[in-house]
Amino acid sequence: MPPSFRDPRHDDHDRTTALAAQLTAVHDDLRARVRLIRDGLVRPGTTTVDAESPAAGILEHCLGFCRALQAHHTGEDDGLFAALRVERPDLGPMLDKLVEDHHLVAGILARVEHLVDTATRAVDDGHRARLVGELDGLTAIMDSHFAFEERSIGAALDGLDDESWVEAVLSVRDDDDY
């Protein structure tokens, strides 16, 4: 159909569908990143931390992941969720639950970052076990949180009549920090 004959409501639906798909893609990327880090920590050969060791790269990747996940949640809280609160005040309790989850995840990320920061010379078995345990807990919470968020935000976006307010608020930078 020529652009001049397109129904603008179709464009709005495409925009929300793309935003929901983008949210899922970002979540899938974050899920894969945390599993890669966790798997790297349980792999043999990650016991010493120096510039050349596998553990150094894994720990650096872990810190980059923590920053990416925190930035993602901040972007949601300050961007998408804030915009949804204006457009759909009835979603307040659901959005409050998602923001609460973000604070819970932030606490885990702080513990992970502390464990990584203390791994200055060696990652002993106890240190590694604590870090892997935190990452396992983070993975479980992320999986549950992301599934709930994808369902609830997707449904909220589907229920909007005018999505012209939506901007690209969801992204994970793909740079050398990871």
Q: What is the pLDDT of residues 71-115, one digit of tens each?
A: 988 988 998 888 888 888 999 999 999 999 999 999 988 988 888
107-147: pLDDT as tens digits: 988 988 888 877 655 566 777 788 888 889 999 999 999 99
pTM across the whole model:
0.71
- Look up residue 32 and give its amino acid: A
CATH number of 7-158: 1.20.120
Q: How many CB atoms lie within 10 A of CB 61?
A: 17
Task: Give the pLDDT score at 5.
Answer: 40
Collapsing DSSP to helix, strand or coil, 147 comes out as helix
22-57: pLDDT as tens digits: 888 888 988 888 888 888 877 755 544 444 445 556
One-character DSSP codes across 23-79: HHHHHHHHHHHHHHHHHHHHSTT-SB-STTSHHHHHHHHHHHHHHHHHHHHHHIIII
* Domain ranges (residues) in the chain: 7-158
